[in-house]
Amino acid sequence: MSPAAAAALRRRAGSRRLPGSLLIVLGLGALALAAFASLVLGATAIAPTEAVAALVAFDGSAEHVAVAEVRLPRTAVALLVGASLGVAGALMQAVARNDLADPSILGISMGAALATVAGQIVVGVDSAVLLVALAMGGASVAAAAIVAVGLLGRGGFAAERLVVAGAALSGLLLALVQGLLVIDRESLEAARHWLAGTLTGAGWDDVAATLPYLAVGAVIATAITRPLTTLGLGDDVASALGVRPRPVQAATAVAIVALAGASVALAGPIALVGLAVPHAARALVGRDIGPQLVACSVLGALLVVVSDIAARVLLAPEELPVGVVTAIVGAPVLLHVARRRTHRP
Amino acid sequence: MTTRTALLPRRCARGRTRRTRAVIATSALLSLATLILTVGLGEYPIAPGDVLLSLLGRGDPSSSFVVSELRLPRALVAFGVGAGLAASGVILQGLTRNALAAPDLVGVSAGAHVAAVVVIVALPDLTIAMLPACAFAGALLASALVYALAWRDGGSSPSRLLLIGVGITTLGYAIVLGVISSIDELIHASQLVTFMAGTVYGRGWQELATLAPWLAIGLPLALLSARQLDSLMLGDDTAGALGVRIEAERLRLLALAAGLAGAAVAVAGPVGFVGLMAPHAARRLAGAGHAAVLTTAVMLGGCLVLVADAAARTAFAPVDIPVGVVTAIIGAPYLIWLLTSRAR
Amino acid sequence: MRRILSICAALLASLTVAACGDEDNDTVSASSEPQAARSVAHAMGAATITGTPKRVVVLDTGELDSAVALGVKPVGAVEAIAGEGLPAYLGDAVEDIELVGTIEQPNVEAIAALRPDLILSSKVRHEAIYDQLARVAPTVFSEEVGVTWKENFALHAEALGRSDEATRLQAEYDDKARELRVALGDKRADTTISVVRSVGDEVRIYLKANFLGTILADAGLPRPKAQDKDEFSETATPERIPDLDGDLMILSRFGDDHRLLKRLQDNRLWKRLDVVKADRVFEVPDDLWFLGIGNFAARKVLDDLRAIVIDGRRLPGDDGNPKTA
């Protein structure tokens, strides 16, 4: 297809939707609002003016400290986790050509989780940096397993095969986590909050430990946008256009592992964000990878921040794990998408 | 993706019957042998001979006590749980014509699990005998949801069914974790986390008495439904022509599968992958006639959980690992192998 | 064949040991304690106990504490965490007690092998295995643990046939509590006690309906407003740090990993707490203050409490600085 034709196609597709610039403004606006709400709401509501004052005219009062030292880092982590999972999900769905792919469904989140739990229980690892590295390792192994399933046997990376394999893998990894928790009783009591993903206690040092990996993921995601779009036209077409599928897929996999693994290291295995967000993004901006990734990062961040607010407010002063809220939001999306599918031969 | 082709008969009639009988007989012997051997395992090993003596009431007092009060009821519960889940799996797979439709993959176990947890937390004084009924209700609800969502345009797409099942299971898991995370009694929280993995620790005669009626009614019912399952296998049109009232049958069979899985989950939690592995092995060994497959699967499922529990309670003694961990360690690779080795 | 022989030998050996054990204990007289069979009502029904039980198995820390307090050394007990042993505060009194599993999962086979004549535990912990335990030996269950420790103590004493001793020990506890209350005098109102415990990756605020809560109430020590609730505990998130404030804080750690606690302590909100600024955070031994949940522990806690509240003394092991690990 000639570049001119491709551009024309894109313009036509884009013109059916709202102008991109408007969407970006709306999205960022919503995100800013949500982030601010996250500073204001919580176990105790803090007046908006106080929240602003805490950021610009810090006076050391209890409320200001709560905003600056507790809610601000927590909101930041929520934004990062949401954006990462959203982007990871979009990348997975693009590279596998499978709109049901998601780090939690395909077992990658649970792989990272098992690695960190095993590290803490079996080896007694306690440094944040090491734990993040373990999360990366676990996510990589799980990703390798899923890729292996996709490559072996017939059916390739078809949705159903991959989802079932992912369910099996997640089931296995979760069972191993539970086995470890039963052996180490003291972790069992505390893990009940973490198993679904939680942002309690999130701090700047967590961010620091995961930043390298998030950066790698982000950089790769940006760089890979064009080749991935080309790949979307089909392996053969892409090769003809000079884009070799395997390196692109491998790079995408690295980005996915980095982003998903970092999210688990930050907040535990949060479910279904990577599934729901890309679907919403595609509804708004179309299938083009570039806009999709941008939309996914914004929408993902939005989803997790809002879910975290709900998690803190619903049972105040106790907190629900944020993953419970995202799963309750994401499951209907999953069901809806699954329902819409027609049987592919 | 395995579909109908994997489930059609593969042998000629005469050879099949002889072989089927052999398979069933072997399974029965295997079950008995496994029972005796696993009952002998534990912190205080008891030789199979002594186990037999104790079972016959002529063993020495110490080992007799251990065998008859502690290990035997637990083993029987484990066997029953495996049997129930296997039967449920056979029914679901025949009903949906999908070889991967196991109760834990289709959302049935998840529904039972959520119901059981909610009842345990909200109604702590409810007698344990009522739990299977509640779990049954939950499993039915989940099945109805799956049915409503997956059956469209007069039929179900096998792939859609599994995807919806995964969605329901994820939702159920989130609800359970939400409950576990927010209850006040910390003692119960850790017990629930163990339950979530599937366990038969401490299951005794009382739990067996709770499970047995459901199996005693459900398993024969399943056997009686074998013919309907065979017909359904041939496709909706053929089955209709053969006089089977499709929708009614399907609902009835779904309820049966829910009841069997629900009782098992109520007693032991959602023990995974048994409802997948046992029917598969049974089908490979006993052919495709559902009567034979059911009978074999029930026994193989029971043996599977027996062996898994024996491994689970001895591997890290004195800590008792939940049996669901072992079935997952066996079952997940098995499922993945199924996915990667079979033709679509 | 060899296996069968060795198993028979093991079983024979344990039978012999059990028989010998019984013989030794026969020589201990139980003076005025009842000898005939008696029925003890408990949370799961009634147990028939003959004479004074000598081979007692205890399945939780409160029961172990009661037994030791009453001068009975159990033949079997369970650990809180596998491999960690029994609570250190009991010292030599728990030497040579056979370990029969964990609180979470007692090993009923191991219990049976000890041939006990009494098993003590609670419904909240082990309701699921009550039937099996009851078949091994007369089993007495209390309803709950922790906050009901006084009733539990009386129940355990009744089962052990040592009710008189229990009454005496409980009076001793009451006296100590009263002494502390009197010694505090007017200062009591200004001595609100905040109780914080780090359990793995969770930090808990202990409220009033637990073992320590009852002791504090008996000593007349008030709780901070945020902790003045009749419930067991709540989770402390960084936002709730202000709720941890008080005139004095009791801080304890269960297990090894305390990442969340460290995070809380690095938080400016923590450092601004009045109790932290006044350096009135006292670390206490977890097994005594939170696991003991019995009369023996309660009396020792009162002694420690007195040292902390009246003398301002730090307990051994508390160096006054937030630990970093």
Residue C48 CB-density burial (10 A; 0-12 exposed, 13-18 middle, 19+ buried):
exposed
* Calpha distance B68→C41 (Å, rounded): 27
- Residue B311 and residue B303: Cα distance in Å, rounded? 12
All residues of chain B having their beta carbon less than 8 Å from the beta carbon of residue A159 are: 159, 163
Radius of gyration of chain B (CA): 20
Output the pLDDT for position A259.
95
Structure letter (DSSP) for residue C281: E
- Cα separation, C14 vs B60, in Å, equals 13
Which residue among B157, B173, B335 sits closest to A168, beta carbon to beta carbon? B335
Beta bridge partners of C251: C196, C283
Residues of chain C with CATH 3.40.50.1980: 32-161, 184-309
Count Cα neighbours of C123 within 13 Å in the Cβ-side half-sphere.
Answer: 11
Confidence band for C21, pLDDT divided at 50, 70 and 90: very low
pLDDT above 60 (res B4): no
What three-state secondary structure class fits A88? helix
pLDDT top residue among A108 and A191: A108
Q: What is the mean pLDDT of residues A221-244?
A: 85
Q: How many domains does chain B have?
A: 1
3-state SS, residue B290 = helix
Highest mean pLDDT among B318-322, C130-134, C232-236: C130-134
Residue among C99, C2, C118, C108 nearest C10 (CA): C2
Q: What's the confidence (pLDDT) of residue B158? A: 64
Q: Please choose, from the candidates A77, A66, A42, A49, the residue with its C-alpha nearest in 3D space to the C-alpha of residue A309.
A: A42
> Token pair of B174, please?
């989130």
CB contact under 8 A, A100 and B164: no
Tell me the residue range of the domain where B106 lies.
Answer: 23-341
Q: Is the pLDDT of residue C56 over 90?
A: yes
Establish if B242 belongs to a structural domain: yes
| Out of A16-20, A81-85, C64-68, least confident range | A16-20
pLDDT at A104 over 60: yes
Looking from the CA of B86 toward its CB, the CA atoms found within 13 Å total 31
Taking one residue from B and the other from C, the number of pairs with CB-CB distance under 8 angstroms is 73
- Nearest-Cα distance to chain C for A89, in Å, is 29
Record: contact C201-A190, CB cut-off 8 A:
yes
Q: Is residue B1 part of a domain?
A: no
Q: Assess whether pLDDT exceeds 50 at residue C5.
A: no
Task: Pick C137 or A286 by higher pLDDT.
Answer: C137
Task: With beta carbons less than 8 A apart as the criterion, state whether A94 and A152 touch.
Answer: no
Q: Determine the average pLDDT of the residues in B134-143.
A: 92
CATH topology of domain C32-161: Rossmann fold (3.40.50)
pLDDT band at residue C22 under the 50/70/90 scheme: very low
Give the pLDDT score at C26. Answer: 34
CB A293 within 8 A of CB A90: yes
Q: Do B174 and A196 touch (CB under 8 A)?
A: yes
C231/B202 Cβ within 8 A:
no
Is the Cα dihedral B135, B137, B139, B145 positive or negative? Answer: negative
Yes or no, beta carbons of A65 and C269 under 8 Å apart: yes
> In which band, very low, low, confident or very high, does the pLDDT at B157 lie, cut at 50, 70 and 90?
low
Domain C184-309 CATH assignment equals 3.40.47.10? no
pLDDT of residue A63: 79
Has residue A296 got a pLDDT over 70? yes
In this prediction, residue A212 carries a pLDDT of: 94
Count chain A–chain C contacts defined by CB atoms under 8 A.
86
DSSP A19-42: -HHHHHHHHHHHHHHHHHHHHH-S
Interface contact flag, B49 C15, Cβ < 8 Å: no
Q: Decide if C257 contacts C323 (C-beta within 8 A).
A: no
Cβ neighbours of B42 in C, within 8 Å: 109
Which chains have 3+ CB pairs within 8 A of B? A, C
Per-residue pLDDT averaged across C1-19, rounded?
A: 40
Report the gap between the CA of A326 and the closest CA in chain B (Å).
Answer: 9
C154 close contact with A: CB closer than 8 A? no
φ/ψ region of B271 (left if φ > 0, alpha if ψ in -120 to 50, else beta) reads beta
Residue of chain C whose Cα is closest to the Cα of A120: C257
Interface touch C82/B43, C-beta < 8 Å: no
User: Are C248 and C305 spatial neighbours (Cβ–Cβ below 8 Å)?
Assistant: no
**pLDDT, mean over chain A:** 85
Q: Which tens digits make up the pLDDT trace of A33-57? A: 999 999 888 878 888 888 888 888 8
Give the pLDDT of residue A60. 74
Pairing mode of beta strands C118-122, C139-142? parallel
R_g of chain A, CA atoms, integer Å: 20
Question: Of C233, C251, C244, which is closest to residue C146 (Cα–Cα)?
Answer: C233
Interatomic CA distance for residues A154 and A265, integer angstroms: 34
| CB-CB neighbors (< 8 A) of B107 in chain A | none
pLDDT digits (tens, 9 = 90+) for C196-230: 998 877 889 999 999 999 999 999 999 999 899 99
Provide the 8-state DSSP code for C127.
Answer: G
C20 token code pair = 């010998």
Q: Which residues in chain B have their CB less than 8 angstroms from residue A145's CB?
A: 336
> What are the Cα distances from residue C109, in Å, to B44, B297, B341, C14?
8, 31, 44, 13
In a domain? residue B70: yes
Average pLDDT of span B105-130: 89
Share of chain A above pLDDT 90, in %: 35
Which two structure tokens, joined as six digits, stand for C118?
């009494």
Residue C195 host element (H or E): strand C193-199
Dihedrals φ, ψ of C79, to 5°?
-95, 155
Give the number of other Cβ atoms within 10 Å of residue B186's Cβ.
15
Judge whether B10 lies within some domain.
no
Within an 8 Å CB–CB cutoff, is residue B47 touching chain C?
yes
Residue pair B290/B90 in contact (Cβ under 8 Å)? The answer is yes
Whole-number Å distance between alpha carbons of A168 and B321? 20
| Per-residue CA distances from B286 to B18, B224, B342, C222 (Å) | 10, 17, 19, 72
H or E element at residue C233: strand C233-235
Q: How confident is the model at residue C4 (pLDDT cuts 50, 70, 90)?
A: very low
B236: burial class by Cβ within 10 Å (0-12, 13-18, 19+)? middle
Q: Does B185 touch chain C (CB under 8 A)?
A: yes
- One-letter amino acid identity for A266? L
CB–CB contact A163 B166 (8 Å): yes
Q: Are A335 and B149 inside 8 Å of each other by CB?
A: yes
Q: B317: nearest CA in chain C?
A: C101
Is the CB of residue C232 less than 8 Å away from at least one CB of chain B? yes
- Residue A236 and residue A309 in contact, taking contact as beta carbons nearer than 8 Å: no
Record the tokens describing residue B288, joined without a space. Answer: 């495709």
Q: What is the mean pLDDT of chain B?
A: 85
Contact B164, B150 (CB under 8 A): yes
Write out pLDDT tens, residues C240-256.
888 899 999 999 988 77
| DSSP helix, strand, coil percent of chain B (3-state; round to 5) | 80, 0, 20
Residue C241's pLDDT is 86
How many other CB atoms are there within 10 angstroms of residue B241's CB atom? Answer: 11
Give a yes or no: residue B15 inside a domain: no
pLDDT at residue A11 in the model? 54
Q: Rounded to whole angstroms, how far apart are CA atoms B209 and B267?
A: 10
Do you know the residue count of chain C?
325
Q: What is the pLDDT of residue A265?
A: 92
> For domain A86-340, which CATH number applies: 1.10.510.10, 1.10.3470.10, 3.30.70.580, 3.30.70.2860?
1.10.3470.10
Tell me how far CA of residue B312 lies from CA of B199, B319, C63, C93, C106, in angstroms.
9, 9, 29, 34, 15
Q: How confident is the model at residue C24 (pLDDT cuts 50, 70, 90)?
A: very low
Q: Which amino acid is at A35?
A: A
% of chain C at pLDDT higher than 70: 87
Percent of chain B with pLDDT over 90: 42
Is residue C315 classed exposed, middle or buried when 0-12, 13-18 and 19+ CB atoms within 10 A define those classes?
Answer: middle
Q: What pLDDT score does C323 carry? A: 44
Mean pLDDT for C112-133 is 91
Residue of A nearest to C83 (CA): A184
Given a contact cutoff of 8 angstroms between Cβ atoms, the answer to whether A153 and A92 are in contact is no
Q: Could you give the CA distance from residue B17 to residue A113 in angstroms, rounded to a whole number?
A: 49
Q: Interface partners of A (3+ CB pairs, < 8 Å)? A: B, C
CA angle A331, A337, A343 (to 5 degrees): 130
Confidence band, pLDDT 50/70/90 cuts, at residue B242: low
d(CA C156, CA C166) in angstroms, rounded, equals 9
B304 vs C30, residue with greater confidence? B304
Those residues with Cβ within 8 angstroms of residue B252's Cβ, 6 or more apart along the chain or in another chain: B225
Judge if the upstream peptide bond of residue B318 is cis by omega within 30 degrees of 0.
yes
Instruction: Indicate the pLDDT class of residue B221, thresholds 50, 70 and 90.
Output: very high
pLDDT at C324: 38
Token readout for C322 is 């937030």
The CA–CA distances, whole Å, from B6 to A342, B283, B344 equal: 21, 9, 10
Confidence at residue A343, expressed as pLDDT on a 0 to 100 scale? 46
Q: What single string gives the DSSP state of each residue in C35-78? A: -SEEEEEETTEEEEEES---SEEE-SHHHHHHHHHTT---SEEE
Answer yes or no: is pLDDT of A108 > 80.
yes
Of C235, B293, C251, B98, the residue nearest A161 (C-alpha): B98
Q: Which residue, among A213, A193, A311, has the nearest Cα to A260 in the 3D structure?
A: A213
pLDDT of residue C16: 37
SS3 A54: helix
Q: What is the pLDDT of residues C141-157, one digit of tens each?
A: 999 888 999 999 999 99
Kindly give the residue spans of alpha helices, DSSP state H, lying in chain C.
Answer: 2-26, 61-69, 108-113, 123-126, 130-136, 149-160, 163-184, 211-218, 259-266, 268-271, 274-277, 286, 295-309
Answer yes or no: do B173 and A327 touch at CB < 8 A: yes
Chain C window 183-222: which residues touch A at a Cβ cutoff of 8 Å?
199-202
pLDDT of residue C175 exceeding 90: yes
SS3 C192: coil
Per-domain boundaries in chain A: 86-340
Average pLDDT in chain C: 84
The interface pTM score, or ipTM, of the predicted complex is: 0.87
Confidence of residue C65 (pLDDT cuts 50, 70, 90): very high
Q: Is 90 exceeded by the pLDDT of residue B181? A: no
Mean pLDDT to the nearest integer, B180-187: 78
